[in-house]
Chains A and B, each alone.
Chain A
């Protein structure tokens, strides 16, 4: 295995609410190796973005990453870094791509200037040199007429082009890792495929590790080496991609897989998980999926789900599997 790049241990991020602080992300642990793509999958509201922002230490106030967590990036705990060092990590060593290309660029600045800023924040490059590099980056991410596009304002570009600008900005400093938070969700289907292809090319070329956040398992299939499935602020299952698609063991993962049109077996009806994700204040103390689980046991809602290793690298958090393992 390649060297370890990111090692998140017991991430816990909370927001204040009427009933005290509520952890919207709890006890999340995962690892990403150099050049590896880990997909973080789960329904909207389950805490994927907050997990990503926690790594960048950009959780919006009054949210807070609990200090019991550790986020090792290349051996250093990001939660221990002082502000200037953390700033060097952001954009310098970890690049980030966001879901909403429409709003994630500054509307009153040219797209070129925004990429130039990303370069000049991290190294002393002359305006001309930074401009040349930006144009080259634009070319690399597939923006036609990069020279002219440099001086365009965001509103003059399509959603797909804007997302390419954001990607150019994220890879400008050749970071070791990219965090892509639903990079294709807001785009047309054809554009989605192009952006996915681009991310794969860049990943191979730059050998970056990628944390790919998505609620769409189809995207995962194209890009991910490993998959971590989240539900209501916790991990429920993590496994290599192939293993997860073939041998998903957690009832939530199985439900997700059955809901994908392309993956359901012939003759099988597309299946949807009943109900919706409850809001953080209503999460059960035990297994959080218990309120919607088709194979719920008596104690599921009261006791946290145990960690079960199904096979090397395949972990599942489920009471029902525990019984099976013992039997």
Chain B
């Protein structure tokens, strides 16, 4: 088990190195630093300003081979953008934003809090509601309650999230005046006012698909032989569902959700930008629109790290939920 996890982490590290190379090609070879500099200082800026900007940001080195160093000098291959890129990313020294001079790592630290405040409650409540609704629905499988629920799920799924956002903002913010339409204030006594609406919207948006998925898993599980055995020894329906079925259904459900856990950290692009929450989702959107390649590169890199982490966590959670699985 430990050996397996160490090996998985090793593979994960190699994957991240590969992603970093891909990012390098994308951000330095396809979009070369000259483009970035021109966008940052403006097309008409004099050459000195432009060269100065590149030097400040560390974009003035060659990509792979630095010919300023002699043939036998180590710097010929290390004093390059490629090596700088890897060292910065792997040591988490992300440097400054391209758009302004703020430190990217500071931005990330500031954005993580609001993102987590939005995504963690959304994730937990979404899972709890979906599991309860689908347990209920599969308890009444093949009845009109079940069919009604499926129709509602399909309806909920076919409506775009934009409609939920606009509808929610209109109804709850404008008509009922319960919560502000958007904005954020980290003061713990009032922060919930800004979070409830986006959480509600996220919940409604994800519920249809989640209930359908969980229901399929539960209903499939209730046809298994061991469920019949449990009933034959006198277990009631609630015990059958809550004890036997739920524990077994956990196995397929875990794969679905554990991989998502690390991404709670990166926030939600849509919800954050629509509700003005200054989290990492907003940070990414701003980086895209502001030609802030340094921040964008960092966010993609962090996403890859989290993805690899999610995969490893999924494997581990499998062994915890299913005694038949032993990782070798």
Chain A residues proximal to chain B, CB less than 8 Å = 56, 58, 60-62, 83, 87-92, 95-96, 98, 100, 103-109, 117-118, 121-122, 153, 155, 166, 169-170, 172
Contacts and interface: CB of A to CB of B under 8 A. Distances in A.
Contact of A117 (B225, B233, B247, B323): B233
Interface string B238-250: 0100001001100
Nearest to B234: A91
A89 B247 CA distance: 26
21 contacts: A56-B232, A58-B232, A87-B234, A88-B234, A90-B233, A96-B232, A100-B225, A104-B225, A104-B228, A104-B229, A105-B226, A106-B226, A106-B230, A107-B248, A107-B323, A108-B248, A108-B321, A108-B323, A109-B247, A166-B229, A172-B233
B226 A103 contact: yes
B44 interface: no
A109 B239 CA distance: 14
B233 A121 contact: yes
Identify which of A61, A89, A106, A109 gathers the most chain B CB atoms within 10 Å of its CB: A106
A121 B226 contact: no
Contact of B233 (A62, A91, A108): A91
B233 A58 contact: no
A95 B244 CA distance: 19
Contacts of A90: 231-234
B235 interface: yes
B138 to A, nearest CB: 12
Nearest to B229: A104
B228 A98 contact: yes
Nearest to B325: A155
B244 to A, nearest CB: 5
Identify which of B141, B233, B324 gathers the most chain A CB atoms within 10 Å of its CB: B233
B327 to A, nearest CB: 15
B328 interface: no
Contacts of A103: 224-226
Contacts of B225: 98, 100, 103-104
Contacts of B248: 106-108
A218 to B, nearest CB: 25
Nearest to B321: A108
B236 interface: yes
B228 A61 contact: no
Contacts of B142: 61-62
A169 B226 CA distance: 13
A108 B247 contact: yes
Contacts of A62: 142
A123 B240 CA distance: 18
Contacts of A109: 244, 247
Contacts of A122: 234
A265 B182 CA distance: 90
B232 A91 contact: yes
Closest 7 CB pairs of A and B: A91-B234, A91-B233, A103-B225, A96-B232, A118-B233, A106-B226, A153-B323
A107 B234 contact: no
Contacts of A61: 141-142
Contacts of B233: 90-91, 95-96, 117-118, 121, 169-170, 172
Interface string B315-328: 00000011110000
B160 to A, nearest CB: 36
Contacts of B230: 106, 117
A62 B228 CA distance: 15
B140 to A, nearest CB: 10
Nearest to B324: A155
A109 B229 CA distance: 13
A108 B322 contact: yes
Contacts of B141: 61
Nearest to B245: A106
Contacts of B323: 107-108, 153, 155
Contacts of B224: 103
A155 B323 CA distance: 9
A62 B248 CA distance: 24
A128 to B, nearest CB: 20
A98 B225 CA distance: 9
Contacts of A106: 226, 229-230, 244, 247-248
A97 to B, nearest CB: 9
A96 B228 CA distance: 10
A121 B232 CA distance: 11
Given A153-B324, A155-B323, A155-B324, A104 B234 contact: no
Contacts of A155: 323-324
Nearest to B223: A60
A40 B322 CA distance: 38
A62 B232 CA distance: 18
Given A96-B229, A103-B225, A155-B323, 7 more contacts: A83-B236, A87-B235, A98-B229, A107-B323, A108-B251, A117-B235, A155-B324
A60 B232 CA distance: 12
Interface string B131-144: 00000000001100
Interface in B152-206: none
Nearest to A57: B231
Nearest to A166: B229
